[in-house]
Amino acid sequence: MKRMDLYLARTVVVNVLLVLFMLTMLAAIINFVSEIHVTYTHEHYTLWDAVVYTAMKIPGGMYDMFTVSVLLGALLGLGELASHNELTVLRAAGVSAARLGGAALCGGVLLAAVCVLIGEFVAPVTEQRAEDRRAELVESRANPLGAGGVWAKDNGAFVNVRSITSRDTVHGVYIYEVNAQRQLDAATFAGVGTFSGNGSLIHNVHGTLLMPDGRGSRVFNLRQSPWKTLLNPELISLFAVDTTSLSARGLYHYIGYMRDNHLDDRRYVAEFWQRIAKPVAVLAMLLLAMPFVFGPLRSSSTGQRLLIGMLIGIGFYVFNDIFMQAGIVFDLNPLISAWLPTLLLAATGIVAVRRIK
């Protein structure tokens, strides 16, 4: 029986990876074609740069396509076994549908682990490097934070960091301190900010301190000053990227910063839980394929299986995204917004599997 389990799991994994490769390559070709047009309008952005950018975007595309690929791959792989009557022989030998589904889910666990590895350790890094490199070539800038840098709320101040050049050094730091009445108390500029385990410092400091009750102002200049801040280089880098391309770990740090500054974090909490729910959605998609293999799609063609899988997979993808955005608009609990579509998918698969005769 272990050989049967291995055979079913291998069939699922191979077909899912094949479908994932095909869908990712299709998306990459479309992305590359759109990048070719950019090479015509920017002399520093060559065809080779477009190839590199497209290649670095592939892991992110794989992560986005993973859920749909699992359903399509499972339908194709198990569907072929069903059309060749291999599953029928196993059922006639006394193997239950639940046992067959369990063997397929073993392959699903491996696929879910691959999905997590791509989403947490590969895609966020390549996405950020791809966008930084493209911005440097297309917009002719070497600053990953953009021409105007990034803005952040930092305790009772608003901070603008213009550029980051190393792991522990930022340049062009503007600090605007605001009181409880939302009035400006002080404006400070520092040429350089450094982070270390002993505390953050700002260097070459120039600023203006506004006196209370409109009694004038006082200008100060310091060579070096302590910088009491919640910011760090990793957090500053997060501001420069789209949060949808962050890992769950990056989102967790970003949420912590927003809560420390009493900012609205509902969207990011929902995205965080949606990432946690994605491996479960992978297993639920695999489970959902079982009823179709033993039921109406048993003797259908490959084209029919692909069509059904695409409709279900894309439908879930769209519903999942719309429901999360609706949850943010209507102030639903982020856990509900992120998990409900996945739980509904899993419940549908479990009910359908239990009805297999």
CA distance 291 to 304: 15
Task: Specify the DSSP class assigned to residue 264.
Answer: -
Q: Check whether 111 has a pLDDT greater than 90.
A: yes
Helices 47-83, 266-294: axis angle to 10 degrees equals: 40
More confident residue, 57 or 356: 57
Angle formed at CA 76 by CA 74 and CA 78, multiple of 5 degrees: 60
58 DSSP β-pair partners: none
Average pLDDT, the chain: 87
Q: Which band of pLDDT confidence, cut at 50, 70 and 90, is reported for residue 141?
A: low
* Cβ-based neighbour number of residue 37 at 10 Å: 9
- Residue-level length of the chain: 357
User: What pLDDT sits at residue 50?
Assistant: 94
User: What pLDDT sits at residue 205?
Assistant: 96
CA distance 238 to 164: 12
The token pair that represents 206 in the structure block: 């120039």
Mean pLDDT, residues 72-86: 86
8 touches 103 (CB < 8 A): yes
CA 70 to chain centroid, in Å, comes to 18
Which pLDDT tens digit goes with each residue over 163-216?
Answer: 887 778 899 999 999 988 888 999 999 999 999 878 899 999 999 998 877 678
207 DSSP β-pair partners: 188, 220
The token pair that represents 253 in the structure block: 């740090």
pTM of the model: 0.81
8 touches 107 (CB < 8 A): yes
First to last CA, the chain: 21
Which pLDDT tens digit goes with each residue over 270-313?
Answer: 999 999 999 999 999 998 888 877 765 566 676 777 788 888 88
Task: Specify the DSSP class assigned to residue 296.
Answer: T
* Cβ-based neighbour number of residue 196 at 10 Å: 8
Which has the closest alpha carbon to 240: 85, 120, 136, 117?
136
